[in-house]
Each structure stands twice: as C-alpha cells, then as structure tokens.
Amino acid sequence: MESQKKWWWVSYAVTPVIIGIKVLLVAFCLNFIKLFDFEWSEKIKFSDFVFLALIAEFVFVIAGAYKFVNFYWLEPDYTLEDLQTYYPMSLINFREYISTEKWLAYPLQLVNLFELFYWGILAWGLWEFSGQKMKPAKSLGLVALTYGTGLLFWVGIVSFLILNAQY
C-alpha cells in the first residue's frame, strides 16, 4: 500500500502512452486497406487513420463513465473481483451461464456493445474516406478484415499469456 501511495502518479503518466500505442496499432491495422487498391485509398494518409482511431476511442470513455456510474450509484456494494471483471454490456456479465475460465474472461469482456459501436465508427470513417463510394456494409467488412484480424491476434496473445501465467 505504501508503494502505491508513492507511485500513484505513474498510472496517470502511463495511461496516455498506452492509449497512444493502442491508437497507433489500430491505425496500423486499418492502413492495410491500402493493399486492396481502391482508387480512394491512395489519398488517405496514415494520420487520417490515426485521427479516426482517436475519434473512435471516445466510445471507451463512455464505457468507463458507464462503469463508474454503475458502481458509484447503482450498485455500491461490490467486491474487488466485480470491479475487475465487470465490463458494461458484455458477455462477461453473464458468467453464471457461460464458462468462467480465467483465460476466457478477456475475450468475453471484448464482446460488448461498446466494441460494436467502435467498429461502427471505424466503418463510418472508412465510408467517409471513400467519398461514400462504397456501401456501409463493405466498409464494415474492411474493418473486420483489418482491425478484426489485429484484434483477434491480440486476444490470442493475451489469452495465451493468461493461460501460461495460470499454470
């Protein structure tokens, strides 16, 4: 507890760095759209993808505010495990009905309504970048192909590390 009091400022300093890395990784994944050789994709710069990912990141700010409101006003009686594993509107909240292996907690947290909104904002941004020349369903497919693949890779790594740390 004493070391936490001494190093409380580190979490505030590291948070923007972690968000910046996440935004850059999402933009990196979206940048692979240029490989598909659409006529509109040549005009898009990497900074446009960074800006789009940064805009979409505000969805998770709303999720954090929802979690705060939930535990501060709606359910003030909670345990530390509830606070760590709860993610708003996700499958992890139905753990009574789904297997709750430790390695499965992270993938279940990722399947949530806010992640769906995040994908929707990314797809909307691609649709706008294309000059509204492609169908919205196709832009969602491109997000699934680029960002979805990166996210699947990331979930695999995190689940693997959780499994290895568990045994």
Specify the pLDDT at position 1: 63
Whole-number Å distance between alpha carbons of 36 and 92:
36
Specify the pLDDT at position 48: 97
Mean pLDDT of 30-42: 91
Question: In this model, does residue 96 exceed pLDDT 80?
Answer: no
Helix (H) or strand (E) holding 153: helix 136-166
Question: In this model, does residue 60 exceed pLDDT 80?
Answer: yes
Whole-number Å distance between alpha carbons of 57 and 80:
26
| Contact criterion met (CB below 8 Å) for 146 and 30 | yes
Q: pTM for the whole thing?
A: 0.91
